[in-house]
């Protein structure tokens, strides 16, 4: 018994020792296949004059960096429909596209100030342009919450692009969908063989007027591929609920300082409207105006135009009841109980002289509700109680800032809206934008990775796609769903065991399997085994003769 146990132990150690060796002998996969059924399958009613149902399948295959294909190993590309092999191809030799037109779209928003992002983006963009083939056309779009000048259409000359990139200055929010759409528009009439947009952003799209599905549809219509690069951490996409507490007391009539040309109330109209413009689409806000009295807030709303209209209607009059207004905002927001972040943003140009609530009450209320106070003093130093406002902000986890003039007021409202609403990249949206247009999404978690990523994008966008057209194995428009697979198989002299049959032989191993479904329009035709039809016929015949049998049975004389 001891001998048997020792023998088993030795076998276990032998197998454990051999397993890693076997794993090391498996060659790495040298190729990458990109194929997405929802965009890479087209249905045709004929091919070369022959009628029928044909499938045109598009895919790209690239040789991985530093990959080596062993001499005794061959690779094949297999195309299957519903599990049936319809095409077998030698692995196409990856060939670069000779004619290329691209547009580089770079985020210029305020959040690009952080961590040296803008400097890294400049360097990476310069590398990208240097790696493009000399004959390739390239354009440039810089964007924040809007598209910024200069917009440079695709051209072979690089100096104008480099000059514009060198002058980038971060400001505002993010509207990368509008930028992507503009880039597609710039490329749609290009005669170049390959057209691509390279989109670099570090934030959530807060300001675009166009929807993502519209951008994707336009890109696909014009044969434009979009590559997306997200810088930094993925965002939580948590909705933000803001109460805007705005002072419209009589002291808002004059300008903030001697250099301003407009009254403080007009400056507030523009600055608070900017806050609303930059809000995320899921963000909600309500206005509480105050002077001697505190206005009643409407329901939290995503309607930006209605919010801005209410802001523009504010006129200067009365005294200042700041503490009452903030207390009311906190209580109203807490009672509404909205899902997501909650914040009170309050601005005043004066010292409170009309409130019934004390500072301590306001702080206690905000801390209990866990609502931070973002407080802004507008005008010359000493015209408002900066010390008290800062204490209130610090005690509740908020912020306090002083805007000396119209320009600074606008900047603070803009930065606060970005800070509160833009909490990171929307990876799902960037992935969708790339994958559904034939491109690829790259995550630059650390901005230092950006240069290397853009080098890779330059190579990727030059890969020529391959197309194969074949007749469907089910050439009937029967309304059913089908499945197409693009497989990479490895063939070599290695031993492959078939557990089910016990057979051991050299064979074929599938190393990559990209599959997806497609649907054919038409009427769904039910399929049924002929034996079932036979059973139905027998049952139908039985029902037909059953009345005759019953009648005959009932007419028979009964025995006494």
- Residue 239: is the preceding peptide bond cis (ω within 30°)? no
- Report the SS3 class of residue 434: helix
240-421 falls under which CATH superfamily?
von Willebrand factor, type A domain (3.40.50.410)
Domain map (residue ranges) of the chain: 27-92+473-519, 100-235+424-460, 240-421
In the numeric block, the tokens 């025995």 are attached to 559
Calculate the CA dihedral of residues 64, 196, 79, 72 and round it to 10 degrees.
-20
100-235+424-460 falls under which CATH superfamily?
von Willebrand factor, type A domain (3.40.50.410)
Kindly give the pairing relationship between strand 481-498 and strand 74-81: antiparallel
pTM for this model (two decimals): 0.69
CA distance 495 to 504: 7
Is-contact 283 240, C-beta < 8 A?
Answer: yes
- Of residues 165, 193, 116, the one with CA closest to residue 450: 116
Sign of CA dihedral 120, 123, 125, 127: negative
Residue 370 tokens, joined: 């866990």
What is the pLDDT at residue 91? 83
Return the H-helix or E-strand segment holding 125: helix 117-131
What is the pLDDT at residue 553? 62
Is-contact 123 451, C-beta < 8 A?
Answer: yes
CA distance 474 to 322: 74
Is-contact 188 168, C-beta < 8 A?
Answer: no
Return the H-helix or E-strand segment holding 147: strand 147-155
Tallying the residues shown for the chain, one arrives at: 560
Is-contact 459 67, C-beta < 8 A?
Answer: no
What is the pLDDT at residue 111? 82
CA distance 233 to 13: 45
What is the pLDDT at residue 457? 87
User: Per-residue DSSP letters for 13-79?
Assistant: HHHHHHHHHHHHHSPPP-EEEE--HHHHEEEEEEETTEEEEEEEEEEEEEEPTT----TT-EEEEEE
In the numeric block, the tokens 């039809």 are attached to 533
Residue 145 tokens, joined: 């919450």
Sign of CA dihedral 186, 156, 453, 164: negative
Q: What is the DSSP code (8-state) at residue 112? A: G
Sign of CA dihedral 202, 207, 211, 215: negative
Beta carbons within 10 angstroms of residue 261's beta carbon: 8
Dihedrals phi, psi of 464, to nearest 5 degrees: -80, 130
Beta carbons within 10 angstroms of residue 98's beta carbon: 13
Burial of residue 76 (number of CB atoms within 10 Å: 0-12, 13-18, 19+): middle
What is the pLDDT at residue 504? 42
Return the H-helix or E-strand segment holding 215: helix 212-221
Buried b (16+ CB within 10 A) or exposed e, 272-284: bbbbbbbbbeebb
CA 247 to chain centre: 38
- Report the SS3 class of residue 540: helix
Per residue, what are the HEC states of 321-349?
CHHHHHHHHHHHHHHHCCCCEEEEEEEEC
What is the pLDDT at residue 557? 60
CA distance 290 to 321: 7
CA distance 188 to 199: 17
The pLDDT profile of the chain, 560 residues, written as one tens digit per residue, is 444 455 544 444 444 444 444 444 556 788 888 887 777 888 888 888 888 888 888 888 877 767 777 777 888 899 999 989 998 988 876 666 668 999 999 999 888 887 888 889 999 999 899 988 888 999 999 999 899 999 999 999 999 999 999 999 888 888 999 999 999 999 999 998 889 999 999 988 988 999 999 999 999 999 899 999 999 888 778 899 999 999 999 999 999 998 999 999 999 999 999 999 888 888 999 999 999 999 999 999 999 999 999 999 999 999 999 999 999 999 999 999 999 999 999 999 999 999 999 999 999 999 999 999 999 999 999 999 999 999 999 999 999 999 999 999 999 998 899 889 887 889 999 999 998 998 989 999 887 888 888 888 888 877 777 888 988 988 888 778 889 999 988 887 654 444 444 444 456 788 888 887 777 766 544 555 556 667 767 777 777 777 776 666 666 665 54
What Cα–Cα distance (Å) separates residue 483 from each residue in 37, 85, 453? Answer: 9, 12, 33
CA distance 415 to 512: 47
- Report the SS3 class of residue 200: strand
Is-contact 100 515, C-beta < 8 A?
Answer: no
CA distance 103 to 96: 18
């Amino acid at each position: 018994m001891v001998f048997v146990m020792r023998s088993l132990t030795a076998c276990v150690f032998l197998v454990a020792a051999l397993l890693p060796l076997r794993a090391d002998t498996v060659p790495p996969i040298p190729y990458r296949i990109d194929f997405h059924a929802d965009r890479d399958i087209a249905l045709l009613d004929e091919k070369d004059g022959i009628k029928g149902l044909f499938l045109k399948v598009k895919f790209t295959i690239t040789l991985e960096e530093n990959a080596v294909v062993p001499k005794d190993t061959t690779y094949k590309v297999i195309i299957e429909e519903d599990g049936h092999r319809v095409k077998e191809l030698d692995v196409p030799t990856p060939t670069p596209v000779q004619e290329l037109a691209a547009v580089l779209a770079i985020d210029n928003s305020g959040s690009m100030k952080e961590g040296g992002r803008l400097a890294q983006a400049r360097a990476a963009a310069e590398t990208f342009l240097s790696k493009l083939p000399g004959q390739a056309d390239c354009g440039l779009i810089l964007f924040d919450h809007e598209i910024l000048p200069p917009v440079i259409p695709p051209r072979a000359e690089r100096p104008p692009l480099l000059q514009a990139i060198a002058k980038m200055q971060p400001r505002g929010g993010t509207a990368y969908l509008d930028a992507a759409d503009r880039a597609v528009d710039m490329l749609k009439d290009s005669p170049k063989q390959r057209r691509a947009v390279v989109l670099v952003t570090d934030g959530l799209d807060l300001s675009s007027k166009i929807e993502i599905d519209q951008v994707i549809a336009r890109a696909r219509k014009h044969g434009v591929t979009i590559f997306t690069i997200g810088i930094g951490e993925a965002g939580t996409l948590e909705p933000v609920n803001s109460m805007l507490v705005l002072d419209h007391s009589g002291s808002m009539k004059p300008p903030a300082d001697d250099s301003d040309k407009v009254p403080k109330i007009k400056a507030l109209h523009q600055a608070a409207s900017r806050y609303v413009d930059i809000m995320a689409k899921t963000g909600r806000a309500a206005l509480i105006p105050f002077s001697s009295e505190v206005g009643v807030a409407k329901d939290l709303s995503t309607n930006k135009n209605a919010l801005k209209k209410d802001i523009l209607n504010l006129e200067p009059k009365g005294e200042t009841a700041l503490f009452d207004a903030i207390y009311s905002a906190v209580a109203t927001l807490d009672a509404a109980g909205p899902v997501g972040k909650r914040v009170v943003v309050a601005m005043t140009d004066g010292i409170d002289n009309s409130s019934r609530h004390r500072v301590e009450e306001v702080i206690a209320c905000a801390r209990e509700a866990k609502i931070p106070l973002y407080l802004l003093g507008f005008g010359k130093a000493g015209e408002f109680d900066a010390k008290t406002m800062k204490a209130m902000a610090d005690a509740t986890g908020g912020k306090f800032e002083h805007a000396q003039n119209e320009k600074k007021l606008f900047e603070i409202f803009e930065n606060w809206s970005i800070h509160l609403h833009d909490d990171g990249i929307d990876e799902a949206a960037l992935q969708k934008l790339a994958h559904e247009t034939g491109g690829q999404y790259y995550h630059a978690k650390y901005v230092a990775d950006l240069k290397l990523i853009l080098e890779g994008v330059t190579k990727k966008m030059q890969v020529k796609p391959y197309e194969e057209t074949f007749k469907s194995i089910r050439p009937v428009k029967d309304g059913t769903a089908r499945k197409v697979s693009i497989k990479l198989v490895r063939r070599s002299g290695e031993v492959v065991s078939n557990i089910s049959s016990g057979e051991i032989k050299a064979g074929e191993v599938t190393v990559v399997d990209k599959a997806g479904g497609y649907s054919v329009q038409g009427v769904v035709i039910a399929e049924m085994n002929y034996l079932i039809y036979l059973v139905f016929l027998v049952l139908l015949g039985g029902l037909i003769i059953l009345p005759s049998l019953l009648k005959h049975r009932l007419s028979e004389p009964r025995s006494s």
